[in-house]
Amino acid sequence: MRWDIFCKVIDNHGDVGVCWRLATSLAGPDDTVRLWIDDPSALAWMAPGGCDGVTVVPWTPTHAARAASEAAPDVLIEAFGCDPAPEVIARFAEHADHEGARRHWINLEYLSAEPYVERLHGLPSPVFRAPGAGLTKYFFYPGFTERTGGLLRGPDLMGRRARFDRAAWFRRQGIDWQGERVVSLFCYEPPALEALLAQFEHAAEPTRLLVTAGRAAAALPPGPPRRGALAISWLPTLPQPEFDHLLWACNLNFVRGEDSLVRALWAGAPFVWQIYPQDDDAHHEKLNAFLDWLEAPPTLRGFHHLWSGIKDGDLPFLDRSTLASWAEVAGAARARLLAQDDLLTRLRRFVAQKS
């Protein structure tokens, strides 16, 4: 089967991260994937080795024009409502319902735990304007329940997690880990960041903070790498498998956006999610819906609100008891998700049912 995925990079690399994971999950002996992307630069560090069966196509007028003479995809996926190239849609429409098999147009939506996701997942959306007039695309919503599209997981993820050697990973990264508590920082510009650093600096237990490249590193206030009980290590940009290793190595993970939230859930360690802010504060409801699904205790819910700037106040103290209660929540959430089919399984089943 031939799959075309269209991705427009908005910012922060979450969109390309999700699309690359999907593309590599789909690729196999009987499946080839073209990932159309308007800015593939992040793949140089996110996926330096590429992937067999996945072709990255620069989303330019020149490459789109060539599609008129190339094989049409069996499945056309537009990620996050990005409006695929008209030339590809025209080629797709030309061959729809021909050659012995139907062709499918999927609108892969944003991840949310809000109730509307279950209502809208899988619904058809007729196309009335050229070049796709007469076709139907279907909404496919990732989510956390059986009545959604599920979450991207990847093959043997839990097996790789079980085989992960934490100490060896620290050595490969050149980090002098002395057994202290380890925290990862992947964030935007959280208003409570300085309060968190101060808490770590004056805590009785030593903390090693691993700061990811980009906005997290830029958000960190200047200062020495050692500040009381806090030691800071700055990381380079990490390929996707290494980002998983980072989350597995830590006792607490601060993540942001969509892709890293899902990876934190699979990691099973305590985490705090900084949701992407929206001008109309729609992210408040989205965050609360997720915390409801997570069954977050008051300390975890309150920390999320402060970390995302939804409320003001003092951060809950991250002692061992608090983190232990958060770890129970994270473990229970992962167990619920592992009992469900992943996004790839549900997507393939959805396409098969529409054929």
pLDDT score for 317: 95
Catalytic residue among 15, 74, 244, 259: 15
**Mean pLDDT along residues 187-203:** 96
pLDDT score for 215: 95
pLDDT score for 100: 45
CATH of 157-338, one of 2.60.40.420, 3.40.50.450, 3.40.50.2000, 3.30.565.10: 3.40.50.2000
Q: How confident is the model at residue 183 (pLDDT cuts 50, 70, 90)?
A: very high
For the question of residue 244 being annotated catalytic, the response is no
Distance CA 225, CA 227 (A): 7
Task: Please answer whether residues 243 and 263 qualify as being in contact, where contact means their C-beta atoms are separated by less than 8 angstroms.
Answer: yes
Q: How confident is the model at residue 67 (pLDDT cuts 50, 70, 90)?
A: confident
For the question of residue 180 being annotated catalytic, the response is no
pLDDT in tens, 257-285: 899 999 999 999 999 999 988 777 778 89
Of 54-68, 84-98, 191-205, 317-331, where does mean pLDDT reach its minimum? 84-98
pLDDT at 329 over 90: yes
Catalytic residue among 78, 258, 259, 342: 258
Q: Which pTM value belongs to this model?
A: 0.95
Domain boundaries, the chain: 2-150+341-354, 157-338
| Domain spanning 2-150+341-354: CATH 3.30.450 | no
DSSP output for 45-101? HHSTT--TTEEEEE-SHHHHHHGGGSPPPSEEEEETS----HHHHHHHHHHTT-TTS
% of the chain at pLDDT higher than 90: 85
Q: Is the dihedral of CA 216, 220, 225, 229 positive or negative?
A: negative
pLDDT score for 187: 96
